[in-house]
Structure 1
Amino acid sequence: MTASLLLGPLLRHAGPTTATVWVETDSPCTVRVRVDGALTATTDTFTVHGHHYAVCEITGLPEGAALPYEVFLGEDRVWPEPDSPFPPSVVRTTAPDAPTRLLYGSCRRPTGDTPEGVVRYGPDMLRATARRLAREAVDGNLVLLLIGDQVYADELEEPMRSFLASVREPDGPGGAPADEVVHYDEYAELYRQAWSDPPVRWLLSTVPTLMIFDDHDIRDDWNTSAEWRRAMDGRPWWHRRVTSGLGAYWVYQHLGNLSSPARAKDPLWARLRDAGGDGADAVDEFARRAHAEPSSYRWSHRYDVGSVRVLMADTRCSRALGEDALHEGSRSILGAEGHDWLDENLSGGPDHVVVASTVPVMLPTAVHHLEAWNEAVCAGAWGRWPRPYAERLRQAMDLEHWGAFQYSLRRLGDAVRGAARGERGPAPATVLFLSGDVHFSYAAPVRHSDVAEGGTRVTQLVSSPLCNQLPAGTRRVVRLTSSRSAHVVGRVLTWLARVPGLALSWTLDGKTYAGNTIGEVAFEGREAEALWYHASEGGIDALPGVYRRVRV
């Protein structure tokens, strides 16, 4: 029987002479990628829960190249698709001395830019970016960072709800919600629906892409607090859900983040590569342990491109959720091992260091103060009786960004200070935090008490959402959080809760923007410029335009 291509190809980790292509097929087969009509890479699929995947590593490529490629399953060519309106997909390698552009964004609902979808969620910026890049000549290094909520496992669109209704028993598995995914097969369909739209499929086939999860990839407010986690652990379907979610994330997102040497060292990859048959038990065992023992696996990963070091930081799965935030390190957004990893890699040498944190490090200051106050009260700063009320407020208002992990923010500030002062090697020109999650976009220049004028420039850049715009009422609340009066109220609350001050300080540069966006940072030498694109007119043929530029 002839195999078919179910999903992909996705162009993932790319180096100066290598490129990784990921695919999903409908049956076991041999996958061959042929580049520029000559160079080939061949591998057999591996199987997880009855689904079949392959990771092809092409080696021996020239630096800084963009070469067309084809995908074969057995002897059948399955990519490019015939009559595609898009240019041929290419493998892109990096060049150490070339300018670098990073595209980034988060929070995407797959609507296909239908009229109903555009009205509800706004234009899809991944689709719009595909249309833009199909018309542009791309020079230098280009990488796409998808930094959270690549899929919404807990807030499903109609096609996914229909799929669940067709495959589940009427009462659902173990009392699970009828409109949330639980099993691996359901996650596989969720990814297929998210990445099968033709413009998005072409974009992911031709631009090297790195990914990291946020909460909706698993469930809203994932690992907000110890109380949240205890409540979820008490639900009979939750352990199957988190096992399926983390296992599917490793297969669909994380595996492609890894370079060939990193993949060879990955213990789960070694088991799948050598096991033969279906690797479901190995993936489930791995995922259960990753949930129960967050320190057992490092999801964060580093990528060096041109003069830029990109640090994709796990701020979700590896959280330490001790309830005594007044005890040093009890609560941590990265966990102890995650902080050690960031300390090691946030160092001098590259011209630019980029930390991709799905949740913003620097929020509007009013929200930051509210989160810091809430963390302190939850930990007992005002005594025992307010703690349960503060916990309810934390979960109701999603108070779980870096501001709610003050130990982590102080430790990050120390790392930035060391890099900026040249204590970890030659000081970089910039340290940039790229984030999403909050469904509005902004720039926030950061000041540090120990960094001299004209030294390392530190900036928070947020671009969110790709396709999930805020309702009008929520936009008004966002604007209120940026007001001077809200800042003063928040500052008073932190003072009353005796929250220590920070060496870092920041202000928003201009207004927030609540529409759908995709961000870009362009690096050349030691200079960097941030851009935000939107598609103001929406619609199926909308091309994005730059609505803001900021030198950073």
Structure 2
Amino acid sequence: MVRAVTWLRYSLGVAHLVIGPLLRHVDGSTATVWVETSDPCTVSVVAGEERVSERTFTVHGHHYALVDVPVREAVPYQVEVDGAEVWPQEGMERSVIRPVARLETVVFGSCRTSVPHDAAHLISHGVDTLRAYGHTLTVDDGLPDLLLMLGDQVYADEPSAEMIEFIRERRGGSEPVDEIADFEEYAELYRQAWTDPEIRWLLSTVPTAMIFDDHDLRDDWNTSQPWREQMARVPWWKRRVMAGLGAYWVYQHLGNLTPAERAADEVYLKIREAADGAEILDAFAERADADPTTSRWSYSRDYGGTRLIMLDTRCARHLVPGERSVLDSSEWAWLEEQVNGGQELLLVGSSVPVLLPAGIHHVEAWNEALADGAWGRRWGRWSERIRQAVDLEHWAAFRRSFERLCTLLAGSGSTVLLLSGDVHYSYVAKGKDVPVYQLVCSPIRNPLSRTLRLANIIAQFGVASLFGGLLARTARLPKPPFKWRITNGPWFSNALATLTFPDGVPEARWYSPTISDPPQLSEISRVPLPGRPG
């Protein structure tokens, strides 16, 4: 019945859902539901006896609403548009809202391309782990408390054939031909990413927290100051970065905020009052790119004795050679305040890993030193080209930031679980004599070819392990604050990871999808994580 009503409203040009509902920020008393609609309208969420309505706001001709619903217990919910029920859709399992006061199960991963699920793309991209998870999960299975999406939710620089067709039909051969150019194309990119039925239901039922990585804007985003200078000379880049950050603000960032934080957000308040907030959002995005200290994309959440800290490791970078930092001074001050809160457990989301395989860590630190002139200008120019060509831009490539972060986390008095993606393989690293662990899960759907897998094993776990330390010594680099080693992995398949707390002790598991109809998830590793040094 709901599907028929939706089709009728679409055919009559009446407001209907375009994307969503997405269940975003949820705590012990309030849940935020995010939607995009086809036209301006009133969106209502009905959850048990609670009924809350919000008018949409408009940006670049697209219409959105965030509805904050009081929640005391698990309850199914419905979404209405101008009084007509449009969710759940016919044939779908009911969507539910549950209060989340403590974290019992966290799911995380990164790097998901939105391509079809036909045989050709199963060969090239593998099975979509997020879609497989949506297939297997039911409300009666024990839903996770949080889904952490750790970057590259969309690929603005590697769009699917369907997305490229949309681009070419819309603007012909104007630049960039095969990349996203403006807000309208970002809106379509998100629509294609989040409207598979299984994923749509999953996102409507499991709370999500998100942060961007480079492909949400463009590969190598803010790798270095020379990279920014090169991109500034590209005619279409300014429009692209404004659209990318603006779209991220609407589709991802707003849902990360608590209701109180949104109520204090001046950009949000101004846009809600505008007939179309495009100019307000574009100005904000341009300012955020030019001066990262004017905005904050990082955020934190407390769940009992656990604090989740999600870090902006892309836009907040300070890139002046010789002063490189993953976080600018404002972000560092904020992070130090979050870390020193006395929590038992810190979950730190960083899209790029902090603890890499030791060999490649030393290679990245050595490359940075050369790029900053340790061996002279000629070696510096060569090293900068290498930095960009092979993506040497993780925490290790910002050595002072790496040392500062490790010292901060090791001295926090908390057990620290670093959750990351980006590198297109999964692994666990463990600090020596400090309760700091690196958990990496990547990709959700974008696997490396067999050739690149072998190359990564040789370069990152073989050759680099032999020569990385030697190279670091030639640049006279200091030793890291503590040693670490890879204890589990690498695993190269598409995957999602779960973090659970049986008997209060963290345990991580990685799952990979099977090629079946419907797809299933198969456990590929289970790793206990004792909350003590060792």
Q: TM-score, normalised by structure 1?
A: 0.91
Q: What is the rounded CA distance, in whole Å, between the counterparts of 2:502 and 2:32 in structure 1?
A: 25
Shift of 1:91: 1.1
Partner amino acid, structure 2, of 1:21: V
Contact 1:531 1:548 in 2 (8 A): yes
**Aligned match of 2:429:** 444
Shift of 1:510: 3.1
Q: Identity over aligned residues, as a percent? A: 45
SS at match of 1:222: coil
Partner amino acid, structure 2, of 1:35: A
Question: Cα deviations across residues 157-197 of structure 1 (Å, max 9, x unaligned)?
Answer: 111011011111x331xxx2210011100000000000011
Change (3 A) 1:76 1:519: same
**Correspondence 1:380 to 2:349:** no
**Aligned match of 1:435:** 420
Partner amino acid, structure 1, of 2:114: P
Shift of 1:347: 2.5
Q: What is the rounded CA distance, in whole Å, between the counterparts of 2:149 and 2:461 in structure 1?
A: 30
Partner amino acid, structure 2, of 1:541: P
Partner amino acid, structure 1, of 2:438: Q
Shift of 1:307: 3.1
Contact 2:363 2:464 in 1 (8 A): no
**Aligned match of 1:285:** 283
Q: What is the rounded CA distance, in whole Å, between the counterparts of 1:390 and 1:439 in structure 2?
A: 24
Question: Cα deviations across residues 284-328 of structure 1 (Å, max 9, x unaligned)?
Answer: 00000000001110100112224321111000001000112xxxx
Change (3 A) 1:34 1:135: closer
Q: What is the rounded CA distance, in whole Å, between the counterparts of 2:365 and 2:382 in structure 1?
A: 15
**Correspondence 1:547 to 2:524:** yes
Contact 1:114 1:540 in 2 (8 A): no
Q: Which moved more, 1:218-227 or 1:259-268?
A: 259-268
Shift of 1:505: 1.4
Partner amino acid, structure 2, of 1:3: A
Contact 1:118 1:539 in 2 (8 A): no
SS at match of 2:430: strand
Tell me which of 83, 92, 104 is aligned to 2:108: 104
Question: Cα deviations across residues 490-539 of structure 1 (Å, max 9, x unaligned)?
Answer: 1000000111111121110133011101011112564100110112x324
Contact 2:431 2:485 in 1 (8 A): yes
**Aligned match of 1:338:** 331
**Correspondence 1:362 to 2:355:** yes
Partner amino acid, structure 2, of 1:361: V
Shift of 1:135: 7.1
**Aligned match of 2:101:** 95
Contact 2:131 2:198 in 1 (8 A): yes
Tell me which of 52, 58, 78 is aligned to 1:47: 58
Q: What is the rounded CA distance, in whole Å, between the counterparts of 1:345 and 1:526 in structure 2?
A: 22
**Aligned match of 2:499:** 521
Partner amino acid, structure 1, of 2:427: Y
**Correspondence 1:56 to 2:67:** yes
Partner amino acid, structure 2, of 1:270: L
**Correspondence 1:257 to 2:256:** yes
Question: Cα deviations across residues 217-267 of structure 1 (Å, max 9, x unaligned)?
Answer: 000000000000000011110000000000000000000000011111212
Contact 1:351 1:525 in 2 (8 A): no
Contact 2:45 2:80 in 1 (8 A): yes
Q: What is the rounded CA distance, in whole Å, between the counterparts of 2:460 and 2:170 in structure 1?
A: 46
Q: Which moved more, 1:142-151 or 1:331-340?
A: 331-340
Shift of 1:341: 1.5
Q: What is the rounded CA distance, in whole Å, between the counterparts of 1:100 and 1:135 in structure 2?
A: 15
Q: What is the rounded CA distance, in whole Å, between the counterparts of 1:271 and 1:498 in structure 2?
A: 52
Contact 1:148 1:437 in 2 (8 A): yes
Shift of 1:132: 2.0
The equivalences for 1:439-478 within 5 A come to 439-448=424-433, 451=434, 457-478=435-456
Q: What is the rounded CA distance, in whole Å, between the counterparts of 2:126 and 2:139 in structure 1?
A: 22
Contact 1:100 1:306 in 2 (8 A): no
Contact 1:107 1:437 in 2 (8 A): yes
Partner amino acid, structure 1, of 2:523: V
SS at match of 1:500: coil
Q: Which moved more, 1:278-287 or 1:474-483?
A: 474-483
Contact 1:108 1:150 in 2 (8 A): yes
Change (3 A) 1:135 1:45: closer
SS at match of 1:468: coil
The alignment yields a C-alpha RMSD, in angstroms, of 1.4
Q: What is the rounded CA distance, in whole Å, between the counterparts of 1:152 and 1:339 in structure 2?
A: 28
Contact 1:71 1:78 in 2 (8 A): yes
SS at match of 2:491: coil
Q: What is the rounded CA distance, in whole Å, between the counterparts of 1:486 and 1:109 in structure 2?
A: 29
Change (3 A) 1:83 1:511: closer
**Correspondence 1:532 to 2:510:** yes
Shift of 1:272: 1.4
**Aligned match of 1:233:** 232
**Aligned match of 2:192:** 193
SS at match of 1:134: coil
Shift of 1:117: 1.5
**Correspondence 1:397 to 2:399:** no
Tell me which of 379, 400, 406 is aligned to 2:399: 406
The equivalences for 1:215-226 within 5 A come to 215-226=214-225
Q: What is the rounded CA distance, in whole Å, between the counterparts of 1:523 and 1:78 in structure 2?
A: 37
Q: What is the rounded CA distance, in whole Å, between the counterparts of 1:468 and 1:484 in structure 2?
A: 24
Shift of 1:483: 3.4
SS at match of 1:288: helix
Q: What is the rounded CA distance, in whole Å, between the counterparts of 1:105 and 1:415 in structure 2?
A: 25
Tell me which of 78, 89, 92 is aligned to 1:70: 78
Question: Cα deviations across residues 475-498 of structure 1 (Å, max 9, x unaligned)?
Answer: 001211343553120100000011
Unaligned runs of 5+ in 1: 325-329, 421-427, 452-456
Contact 2:410 2:436 in 1 (8 A): no
Q: What is the rounded CA distance, in whole Å, between the counterparts of 1:47 and 1:348 in structure 2?
A: 38
Contact 2:210 2:252 in 1 (8 A): yes
Shift of 1:83: 2.4
Q: Work out the number of aligned pairs and report it.
A: 517
Q: What is the rounded CA distance, in whole Å, between the counterparts of 2:140 and 2:485 in structure 1?
A: 35
Question: Cα deviations across residues 109-160 of structure 1 (Å, max 9, x unaligned)?
Answer: 1234321221101111101111221275216x61000010000000011110
Q: TM-score, normalised by structure 2?
A: 0.94
Q: What is the rounded CA distance, in whole Å, between the counterparts of 1:477 and 1:506 in structure 2?
A: 22
Q: What is the rounded CA distance, in whole Å, between the counterparts of 2:499 and 2:368 in structure 1?
A: 33
Q: What is the rounded CA distance, in whole Å, between the counterparts of 2:392 and 2:187 in structure 1?
A: 31
Partner amino acid, structure 2, of 1:92: R
Q: What is the rounded CA distance, in whole Å, between the counterparts of 1:483 and 1:180 in structure 2?
A: 33
Contact 2:310 2:350 in 1 (8 A): yes
SS at match of 2:490: coil
Contact 2:318 2:325 in 1 (8 A): yes
Q: What is the rounded CA distance, in whole Å, between the counterparts of 1:475 and 1:14 in structure 2?
A: 38
Q: Which moved more, 1:480-489 or 1:374-383?
A: 480-489
Unaligned runs of 5+ in 2: 1-12, 530-534
Q: What is the rounded CA distance, in whole Å, between the counterparts of 1:136 and 1:374 in structure 2?
A: 51
Q: Which runs of 4+ in 1 moved over 6 A?
A: none
Tell me which of 26, 30, 52 is aligned to 1:14: 26
SS at match of 2:68: strand
**Correspondence 1:131 to 2:135:** yes
SS at match of 2:138: helix
**Aligned match of 1:171:** 173
